[in-house]
Structure 1
Amino acid sequence: MKNRIMTGVLFAVLLVAVMFAHQTVVLNIVVAAVSLVAVYEGLRATGFEKNKPLTALCIVFCVVTAFLSDLAQFKGVNSVVFVFVVLFFLAAMYRHDEQPLERIGLAFVIALIVPLGLSCMVFMRGITGQNVPFYIMLTIIGSWVTDIGAYFTGTFFGKHKMAPKISPKKTVEGLFGGLVLCIACFALWGWLYQTLFLQDGGTVQFLPLMLLSIPASLVGVVGDLTFSLIKRACGVKDFSNLLPGHGGMLDRFDSTIFVAPFLYLAIQVVPIIT
């Protein structure tokens, strides 16, 4: 528990630093670094980190994706992804006899969705301008706060297993606890942001904000369960022990990989700050 809290505090400090530097290359560097480490952990879990061409390709894709800040508006985005897919499977064929086909599929999913998902926090900069810290924090709340609420609620009140064959420790009570905490923190962050930062520069629409918190929290749970399923398929408990109390980088950001693209798409349809 102590290690988990200390690691969480360090990440909170890093988050604040990134939010203050959101209009600089710092955001791109942090997203690229997290993506790179997370993808490498995934490749190691699937046994593909020994495939040097494939690993190098994934590293390049992580960095390029994080630094193409306007990738969402880039007309050739489909071509970029297509080229990566073709090169990935060419590299996978290089040592295909050492890993079963399902492991190739798992490695591909990790290598594709991790950098694209996390880079949505960079893409938000192109559609939210100066308010990107607000939406980055919503992304963290939707993933991390939901996880924190589910962890403590499940620890003290959990009785009914939610998905015992995928993640034995997750409970229905924990799911509701995480959801309630997420809704509350969305509202609290909206009030704080409007009070401290917006002033006369805009208004937070609280009803859409709180309604958006529900699917954001649930999408985060789906992300968590998805990577738990991948870990079980790979026969590992955690993707690594890089972060004491949390596991690996991919263990910490599994929910964020799903929440970030959800919010990126949602805020283009549902205006939160007007």
Structure 2
Amino acid sequence: MRQRLLTGIAGGAFIAAVTYFGGTIYDFVYFGIICIGIYELSKVFFDNGFDYGAIVNYAFAIALFIEKSTEYRHYFDFFLFLYISVNFLVFVFNKKTDTKKISEIIFIGSYVVFFMYHMMLMNGSAYVWLVYIIAFGTDTFAYFTGKLMGRRKLYPEVSPNKTVEGAIGGMIGSTILSLIYFNFLSINKYIYIIIFSVSASVFSMAGDLAASKIKREHGIKDFGYMLPGHGGILDRFDSVLFVAPAVYYFVQHFL
């Protein structure tokens, strides 16, 4: 527990500092997080962090990093088309590649690369802090509410310790934190904010459950060992993966 707490404090302080200063360092850090996430999930699916399926996703991550960091901005649709096309070409011309393999490759590209790419898109934005507020706020409030009041299991086949009461507590707690933060930003579209916050909190829990389901299906406890007491990068950022796109598109279309 002590090791988990120390890692959490050190890691949280590092990410907070990187987010506060933003810029190129922020992009590099999240590019690194994406690559580590690809490695961890490729180890689970392919038993090899440098399988050709992993290499395709590293290439996709590099393309999006270049698109974000250089004058080649707004090339995302082209890179996405190229990524999908390459995967289908590999499927057609590589006799050893079946639909299961291609599905796993594209799953990693969607789950890790595409979802986390939205954190890079919010580099320098005040709204990026909402991702942390909702993801970690939901997790924290759900944990303590579940401990104090949890009776009914939420999804015991995937995560035996999560409860319905904890989920409700997580949604309420993260919504209150969101309202406080939006008030700090002088934004008072309260109906939109409440609907968004509850929805994003559901996404946060879905991200957590998705990671748990992957681990349960493959018989592993953690995705890796990089973060002592927490496991791998994906063990810590599973909720962020789902919340980041929710925050980005809410800000783009409703604020």
- TM-score, normalised via structure 2 length: 0.86
Residue of structure 2 in register with 1:87 after alignment: 86
Label 1:96 to 1:161 Cα distance change in 2 as closer, same or farther (>3 A).
farther
Matches within 5 A, 1:140-159: 140-159=132-151
Label 1:154 to 1:225 Cα distance change in 2 as closer, same or farther (>3 A).
same
Q: CA deviation at 1:4?
A: 2.6
Question: 2: distance between equivalents of 1:122 and 1:153?
Answer: 32
Q: CA deviation at 1:70?
A: 7.7
Label 1:66 to 1:160 Cα distance change in 2 as closer, same or farther (>3 A).
farther
Matches within 5 A, 1:73-222: 74=73, 76-88=75-87, 96=96, 101-102=99-100, 104-125=102-123, 132=125, 134-191=126-183, 193-194=184-185, 203-205=186-188, 207=190, 208-222=192-206
Residue 12 (1) aligns with residue 12 (2): yes
- 3-state SS, counterpart of residue 162 of structure 1: strand
Label 1:267 to 1:70 Cα distance change in 2 as closer, same or farther (>3 A).
farther
Contact 1:36 1:63 in 2 (8 A): no
Residue of structure 2 in register with 1:198 after alignment: none
Letter in 2 for 1:11: G
Residue 227 (1) aligns with residue 227 (2): no
Letter in 1 for 2:48: E
Letter in 1 for 2:110: L
CA deviation profile, 1:56-101 (whole Å, cap 9, x unmatched): 2222222332342289x9554333112212334555775847xx75
> What percent of counterpart residues are identical?
29
Unaligned runs of 5+ in 1: 195-202
Q: CA deviation at 1:225?
A: 1.5
Contact 2:39 2:50 in 1 (8 A): no
Q: CA deviation at 1:102?
A: 3.6
Give the RMSD, CA atoms, in angstroms: 2.6
Residue of structure 2 in register with 1:250 after alignment: 234
Letter in 1 for 2:53: L
Letter in 2 for 1:108: I
Question: 2: distance between equivalents of 1:77 and 1:220?
Answer: 25
CA deviation profile, 1:212-238 (whole Å, cap 9, x unmatched): 211111111112212222222222222
Question: 2: distance between equivalents of 1:59 and 1:75?
Answer: 20
- 3-state SS, counterpart of residue 169 of structure 1: strand
- 3-state SS, counterpart of residue 222 of structure 2: coil
- 3-state SS, counterpart of residue 224 of structure 2: coil
Unaligned runs of 5+ in 2: none
Q: CA deviation at 1:104?
A: 4.5
Q: CA deviation at 1:155?
A: 2.8
Question: 2: distance between equivalents of 1:143 and 1:46?
Answer: 26
- TM-score, normalised via structure 1 length: 0.81
Label 1:156 to 1:36 Cα distance change in 2 as closer, same or farther (>3 A).
same
Question: 1: distance between equivalents of 2:128 and 2:57?
Answer: 25
Contact 1:39 1:250 in 2 (8 A): no
Contact 2:135 2:201 in 1 (8 A): yes
